[in-house]
Amino acid sequence: MEWFSLEFFTALLTIVLIDLFLAGDNAIVIGMAARNLPKDQQKKAVIYGTAGAIGIRIIATVLVVQLLNIPWLHLAGGLLLIWIAYKLVLQDDGHGDIKAGNTLWQSVQTIIIADAAMGIDNVIAVAGAAHGDMALVIIGLLISIPVIVWGSTLFIKLIDRFPWIIYIGSGILAYTAAKMITHEPVLESFFEPVLIGWSFKIAIIALVILAGMATNNMRRNKAAMQKESRESH
């Protein structure tokens, strides 16, 4: 990929947006892990923990980018990313098991280990968006550091106020997943015609967003029925 070309900046913007939409989990983990520390140590825990998590994430993304050269792994990664895009819309909260550290080092350890365990979605998405360009991976993740440390908590509040924003993030992930599948070497010739390639991408984006909206509506209706049932008794 040629540096400073439209393709380069488009891929870089996609990586930064992916990090932004998936940074909410990081903000929750960081906040929960450092909440028991004195105020003067909380900032250190955030900085050290995030630096360690980003370092591990860069290494993991480099490895995934190399693995994507193996036949069929673009397809596998794309299918997994479609599921991740769908789960993003549902916004499940699964962080009740994150324990707060009582010392600076314990908090830093918690942040790094938890981020490594739950960062696979980010790693696959970034690797897919970069299409093998390691400079893009590193630049995108470095730009994301201040986003994760300072911007993600604000972004969570923004999503709470405007829930539809999360559908944009899901669409970006779905588009990245579709691109990974169309770049699978074994299938690339099939998707080479522009009409087929773009029709497939649009179909995947629509499928993920509509499936997410349908599931959310079902959950809301079920919750409303349960509430109504409790009140009637």
Tally the domains of the chain. 1
Q: Are 110 and 98 a contacting pair, CB within 8 Å?
A: yes
pLDDT digit string (tens) for the chain, length 233 residues: 677 778 888 888 888 788 777 766 666 666 667 767 787 787 788 778 878 877 887 788 888 878 877 888 888 888 988 988 888 787 555 555 555 667 888 888 877 777 776 667 778 888 888 877 778 877 877 776 666 666 555 665 676 788 788 888 888 889 988 988 998 888 989 999 999 999 999 999 999 999 999 998 998 888 888 888 887 76
Which residue in the block uniquely carries the two structure tokens 């955030």? 46
Report the candidate in 159, 155, 136, 145 with the shortest Cα–Cα distance to residue 14: 136
Residue 201 maps to a domain: yes
Which residue in the block uniquely carries the two structure tokens 């390639």? 197
169 token code pair: 């993030």
Report the candidate in 179, 166, 158 with the shortest Cα–Cα distance to residue 212: 166
Residue 1 maps to a domain: no
Residue 108 maps to a domain: yes
Residue 18 maps to a domain: yes
Instruction: Tally Cβ neighbours within 10 Å of residue 56.
Output: 16
Q: Are 122 and 57 a contacting pair, CB within 8 Å?
A: yes
Q: Burial code of 153-172, b = ≥16 C-beta within 10 A, e = fewer?
A: bebbeebeeeeeebbebbbb
Residue 95 maps to a domain: yes
Residue 126 maps to a domain: yes
**Residue 158's domain spans which residues?**
6-232
pTM above 0.75, yes or no: no
20 secondary structure, DSSP code: H
The alpha carbon dihedral of 134, 136, 140, 143 has a sign of positive
Residue 180 maps to a domain: yes
